[in-house]
Structure 1
Amino acid sequence: MKLGFPFVNHCYLRLIVISCSLLRLGSTSLFAQTKPSDVTPYERNTNQTATYAQIISWYQQLDRQYDQAKLVEVGKTDIGKPLHVFLLAADKQFSSRPNRVTLLINNGIHPGELEGIDACMMMARDLLKANKLPKNVLLAIVPVYNIDGALNRGVSRVNQNGPESYGFRGNARNLNLNRDFIKAEAENTKAFQVMYQSLKPQVFIDNHTSDGADYQHILTYFATQKDKLHPTVSSYMVKTFQAELDKTLTAKGFPPAPYVDSFSDTPDSGLIGYNDSPRYSTGYATLFNCFGFTLETHMWKDYPARVKASYAFDESVMQLCDRDAQTILANQKKANEAVSQQTSFPLSYKLDRTKTDSITFLGYSAAYKLSEVSGLKRLYYDRSKPFTKRIPYWNTFAVDAQVDKPRAYVIPQAWWEVITLLKRNGVKLQTLPKDTLMAVSAYYITDYKSGQRPYEGHYIHSGVKVRSETQQIQFYKGDYLILANQPTNRYIVETLEPQGVDSFFAWNFFDSTLDQKEYFSDYIFEDTAAELLKKDPSLRKKLDEKRASDKAFAENADAQLDFIYRQTPYYEKTHNRYPVYRLK
C-alpha cells in the first residue's frame, strides 16, 4: 500500500509517492526515543504543555504501537523541521475515500494557544487504546503546525492563565500563519496546502485560545461563515450539525457561545459573526466546500478546564462526523458539482445589521472605575455578579461585490509564483501547445488603496476598481489556460479576480504591472504633442474638456503632456494592465 503525500521543495513543487513502510518513524527518528508511557506530559503536570520534541515522540510511539495509526511527514517548515500529520483509521486505510468523512484538526497555529495540542494527544491515545476509532471517519491531526513558534517558548501572552510556558505567535519569519493561507509565503503553509489537497477534508477544526472580554463560557467558537458556504452545506451545518454540537457540548458541561466580538466594550451589547476571509484557515477551507470551526477556549479559565473543553469539542465534532458521514459526503459532492457550473461568484461580503438573531449568553456584569495606573476610567468585570440572558447576535453577511466568471482565464507562464499556487491547490491548468494570438478581455487597474503600514509583510490593496477592454494579446507556448468549470472554481475566481478581498492582486503578486517603464522628455515631447494635436481634432477636444473641468490640471503643463502621451501609441499598453486575462 502506498500513501501519496506530495512534498514541497523550497524552490519548486515535487510530487513524491511515499511507501507507508517508510513512514514508521522508528530508529531513524529525529527525536530521542523515550520509554513508552500512557501518560502525556500535560497529565503528569496539568500546568505544563508538551514541548515540540515530546509531541512528536508521543505520536511516534502511537505509530509504533498501533496499526490503525500513521505519522506522516508532509513537508518542511520555515525553521527546517518536518511538518507532520497523524492519521487514524479504524480500517488501517490512510487515504481519503468516497465513503468516509475526513476530519482535519489543526493544532498550534498560534503556539501560545495550545490546549488542542494536549487534548489531541490524549484523544488519539484514548481512541486507540479503547479501540474506539470511528468507522466512518479518517481522523487527521496536525500535532503542532507552527513549529517555529512552538520552539520559541516563553510567557508572551500576558493575559493568559497558564500553562507555565508555551510557544510564540509568530513563526521564524515572524509571520502569523493564520493570515497566510492565500499568499502561502511560509514553508509551513505550502506543506499544509499540499496535505489539505491530498486529504480533501469535509470538516475542519482549528484549535485556538481567545482573549478579550471576561465571561462564564469556557469555550466559544465560530463556524465557517454560513453565508459563504454552498446552501446545501450551510443549511446542514447550521440546522443540524451546529445545533447538535451545541447540545452535546452543553451536556458535557461546556455550554458554548459564538466567538466574542462585539460592537461595544462588553459582550452583553451583542455579538457579531466572524467574517473569515480566505487568508484564514477556515476561510481557506470554505473555498473547497469544507465547513470548519475555529475553537476559542477562554484565556482566563484555568489550563486544565481549557484542555478538557478542547477535548470535548474535538471529540463531539468527530462523533457527529461519524454519525452523519453519508450526509456530509453527499452535501460536499453536491456543492462541488454546483460550483463547477456556477456562473456568478461573490468577491466580498458585508455585515447586514438589519438581520438580528439572539443567543443565550453567560456573562459577568461589567462596570467602570478609576485606574490605579492612569487615574482614568477603566473597564472591569465583576465575577461575583454572573448573569444569564439573551443578547443580540448579528451573523448575516450580504454579498458586497460579485463577478460573473469567464469561460476561462489565461495567465502567462512568467507569473510562476501564482501558477505554482494554483497547481498546489488542486486547480487544473492546460498549457498552450504553440504561440497563439487570442482575443481576450483585459482588466486595467483604475484605482486602489494600499495600507499605510505593512500587514504580514505586505501593503494589501483594497477598494480595487477596474475597467475592461477587449484586446488581441500574443500568448506563447507554455502559457496557461484555466477552464472555469472545476470544483475549485471558488479558489480560482476569488484569487484571480483583482477585486477579491484576498486576491493575489490584493496580496501584491502583480505589483510590477503598476509601474510605468517608459517615459518622455518634456522638451522633446512638447513638439511631438503639438503636432499630434494639430493632426487629431478629437484629441484636442479631449484636452480642452479636461482643462475646462479641472483647474489644477489646466495649471499643470506636465500633467497635460502626460494626458496627451497616454492617448498615443507611444504609451505602453501593459501599464496597469492586469496580467490574468478572461476568455468569454
Structure 2
Amino acid sequence: MKKTLSLIFSCALALCSSAQQTPFEKSNGKETATYTELISYFKNITQKYPEAKLLEYGTTDIGKPLNLLVLSKSKDFDPVSLHTKGKAIILINNGIHPGEPEGIDATMMLVRDLLEKKQLPDNVVLCFIPVYNIDGMLNRGPNSRVNQNGPVEYGFRGNSRNLDLNRDCIKTDSRNSLAFQQIFQNWKPEVFLDNHTSNGADYQHVMTYIATQKDKLNPEVSAYMNNKLIPVLLAKMKERKFEMVPYVNVWGNTPDKGYEGFNDSPRYTTGYSTLFNSIGFVVETHMWKPFDQRVWATYAFMQELINQTEKDAKEIIDTKRKADEMVKNQTAFAMDWKVDTSKVEQIAFKGFEGKYKPSEVSGLDRLYYDRSAPFEKQIDYKNSFKPTQLVGKPWAYVISQSWGKVIELLKLNGVQMKPLTKDMALRGEMYFIDDYKTGTRPYEGHYLHSTIKVTKDTMNVQFYKGDYVVQVDQAVNRYIVETLEPQAIDSYFNWNFFDSILGQKEGFSDYLFEDIATEILKKDPELKAKLEEKRKADPKFAQSAYAQLDFIYKNSPYYEKTHNRYPIMRLLQPVYLGN
C-alpha cells in the first residue's frame, strides 16, 4: 500500500510542476502554508481566473476578515441567484483547528486544479473558507500537537481568545463564529464539509469520517445521505487507496472491541448544519500517518464529494426543499440524544493489535499498538440514536427586546420575527427552572448547565412595543426550538445566556420578617399546614429557623415572581398582534 501511495503522490506532484505550486508541493509534502502565503495564493488565483472570487465577511477575533473563496463556472457569485438557478452549494471549512491543516493545503491544490483543467462543475458552486481560525493559524509552531506526524510547523487549536471554534456555533463568543454563521446563512449550503485530523487510537486507515448522525438528520436528507451518498463516497475512496471507516470514537479502550457513533450536538459545525437540513461531513485524517498522505486523502475526499454532488445536484436540492417543508410543520423536537445500545451493526475495520508492556516512565503497564500485527475484521458499531426528551413546539415564542444577544443570533440565523407594535399583556406558558446542574470547571469560557428540570405555569405577562414574537412555522424551526427550549443540550440557557434570572434580587431580614411571617401563617392555614408537613418530612429543615422563614417568604406575596422564571413565553394559540 505504501508503494502505491508514494506513486500516487509522485505523479500528482509531477502534474503540478508547471502550475502555481503550493508550499506543500515545494517542500515535497512536508510543510503547510502560512496565513500570508494562503491569502496571497488565492488573491493570485482570483486575478487569473474570473470564475473565482475571494469575499470578506466581518472580522475575526484577531482583527482580520474571514475570507470565502467561491468558484462558480457561470461567474455568478450571488447566492440568491444561484439557488434560483438550481445550483447546489457546497461549503468546505478549513482550519477550524489550524494544527490540523490538511484541508488548507489540499484546498489550495484542488482549487488550482479545477480552474486550470477547466473542471468546475456545471450544477454546483463551491465555497471554501481557506482558514476559519485565522488567529490559531498565526500562532504557528512545531510543538503543540505532540502526537502528530508533521508538518514541520502548524497552527494552534485555540483562537486568540483560546476558544475552540468547533464548540462555538451556538454560544457564539467569537467574532469568527459570527462571520461563519453569516456565511452559512447567506449561502445556505446543501452540503457542508469540515476538514480535521484525529487524535486517539492507532489503525491502518489514513482517513475516517463523521457523517451527520442519521437519526438526528431530517429523514428525507438522511435517507439520501446514508443509502446513496455515503456508500458511493466510501467505494470511490477505497478505489483511491484511502479506505475509510466511521470516526474511531473510543476512550480508554481499543477499537477492535467496537465503538459508538459521534453525537454531534449543535455546538459543533456539523451539529449546527443539521439544524438547517444540510448534509454534513467531518473528515478526520489519522494524526500519525505521514502528512503528505493526509493531505492527499483530504484532496481525494473533497474531489469525490464534489463529483457526486454534481451528479446528484437536483436530487440533493429537492431533498433539502422537502426537508425544509417538513420542518415547518414538525410538531415535536428532540432536546438531546443517546445511543441505542440495542442496535448494533458490523463494519470492516483495519487495525493494529493493542498490546501492553511495562512503561519506561512509570514501570506500570502501558498501551501500545503493534504495527507488526495488523488485522482486518468485522467489529461492532453502534450508530443508532434515540431522543432522551421530546418537547412540543408552541405556536410562537415571545422574547423581550432586553435579551439583545438572543435577538441578534436569531436574526443572524434567518429566523423571522415580528416586533410588537404596542405594549401588550399576553397569556401563555412560562417555565420555572426547578433544578439544574452546572459544571464545576469552565468549559469554553462557560460554566455549562445541564440536566434541566422545569415546571410550567400559564400566566399573564406584560410585554412592550419592540419585543419580538417568533412563530414556529419556519424552515429554521430546529434552530428556534433547540436554542430557546432550556432543556435542549445546547440551548441558550445551558450556555448561560439567562443566568441573571437565577439570582434573587430581594430578600428579608430574619429578625424583622419573623413578625410578618407569624401574621402570614395566621391568615393562611393552608400554608401553615404545608410548613408543618415539611418539618415532619425533613429533620434538617425542622432544625433551621432561617429555612422555615425562607419557605414562608417564597410562598408569600413578598417573594419576587420572576426569580427562576425563564424569560421567554410560549404562546400555545394564535394571538392577534396588531399591524
Query: How far did 1:482 drift?
Result: 0.2
The 3-state SS of whatever aligns with 1:552 is helix
The 3-state SS of whatever aligns with 1:61 is helix
1:487-506 pair list within 5 angstroms: 487-506=475-494
Percent of aligned positions with the same letter in both sequences?
56
Of 320, 338, 360, which aligns to 1:350? 338
**What letter matches 1:66 in structure 2?**
Y
The 3-state SS of whatever aligns with 1:346 is strand
1:477 paired with 2:460, answer: no
In the alignment, the residues of structure 2 paired with residue 346 and residue 446 of structure 1 have an alpha-carbon distance, to the nearest angstrom, of 20
Task: Give a deviation string over 1:510-548, Cα, whole Å, max 9, x none.
Answer: 000000000011111101110111111111111111111
1:95-110 pair list within 5 angstroms: 95-96=78-79, 97-98=83-84, 99-110=86-97
Of 89, 112, 120, which aligns to 1:133? 120
**What letter matches 2:58 in structure 1?**
G
Of 97, 100, 105, which aligns to 1:113? 100
Give the structure 1 partner of residue 53 of structure 2. 70
Of 428, 436, 454, which aligns to 2:442? 454
**Which consecutive unaligned segments of at least 5 residues does structure 2 have?**
1-17, 573-579
**Which consecutive unaligned segments of at least 5 residues does structure 1 have?**
1-35
Query: How far did 1:130 drift?
Result: 0.6
| Alignment size in residue pairs | 549
Give the structure 2 partner of residue 520 of structure 1. 508
Query: How far did 1:264 drift?
Result: 4.9
**What letter matches 1:346 in structure 2?**
A
Give the structure 1 partner of residue 282 of structure 2. 294
In the alignment, the residues of structure 1 paired with residue 72 and residue 358 of structure 2 have an alpha-carbon distance, to the nearest angstrom, of 57
**What letter matches 1:41 in structure 2?**
P
Give the structure 1 partner of residue 565 of structure 2. 577
Give the structure 2 partner of residue 322 of structure 1. 310
Give the structure 1 partner of residue 73 of structure 2. 90
Task: Give a deviation string over 1:332-367, Cα, whole Å, max 9, x none.
Answer: 100100100111000100111110001000111111
Conserved 8 A contact 1:194-1:424 = yes
Of 350, 364, 368, which aligns to 1:380? 368
In the alignment, the residues of structure 2 paired with residue 301 and residue 131 of structure 1 have an alpha-carbon distance, to the nearest angstrom, of 32
Give the structure 2 partner of residue 361 of structure 1. 349
Query: How far did 1:262 drift?
Result: 2.6
The 3-state SS of whatever aligns with 1:76 is coil
In the alignment, the residues of structure 2 paired with residue 47 and residue 341 of structure 1 have an alpha-carbon distance, to the nearest angstrom, of 52
Of 248, 251, 255, which aligns to 1:267? 255
In the alignment, the residues of structure 2 paired with residue 397 and residue 339 of structure 1 have an alpha-carbon distance, to the nearest angstrom, of 19
Give the structure 2 partner of residue 18 of structure 1. none
TM-score (norm 2): 0.94
In the alignment, the residues of structure 2 paired with residue 559 and residue 365 of structure 1 have an alpha-carbon distance, to the nearest angstrom, of 60
The 3-state SS of whatever aligns with 2:150 is coil
**What letter matches 1:141 in structure 2?**
F
Identify if the C-alpha distance between structure 1 residues 497 and 429 changes in structure 2 by more than 3 Å, giving closer, same or farther: same
Conserved 8 A contact 1:102-1:139 = yes
In the alignment, the residues of structure 1 paired with residue 429 and residue 213 of structure 2 have an alpha-carbon distance, to the nearest angstrom, of 32
Give the structure 1 partner of residue 6 of structure 2. none
Of 544, 553, 565, which aligns to 1:565? 553
The 3-state SS of whatever aligns with 1:440 is strand
Structure 1 vs Structure 2 CA RMSD: 0.9
1:106-185 pair list within 5 angstroms: 106-155=93-142, 156-185=144-173
**What letter matches 2:26 in structure 1?**
R
Query: How far did 1:211 drift?
Result: 1.1
In the alignment, the residues of structure 2 paired with residue 311 and residue 380 of structure 1 have an alpha-carbon distance, to the nearest angstrom, of 30
Identify if the C-alpha distance between structure 1 residues 458 and 263 changes in structure 2 by more than 3 Å, giving closer, same or farther: closer
Conserved 8 A contact 1:263-1:271 = no
Task: Give a deviation string over 1:92-150, Cα, whole Å, max 9, x none.
Answer: 11233141110000000000000000000000000000111011111000000100000
1:170-249 pair list within 5 angstroms: 170-249=158-237
**What letter matches 1:336 in structure 2?**
D
Task: Give a deviation string over 1:454-505, Cα, whole Å, max 9, x none.
Answer: 0000000000000000111000000000000000100000000000000000
The runs of 4+ residues in structure 1 deviating greater than 3 Å are: none
Give the structure 1 partner of residue 575 of structure 2. none
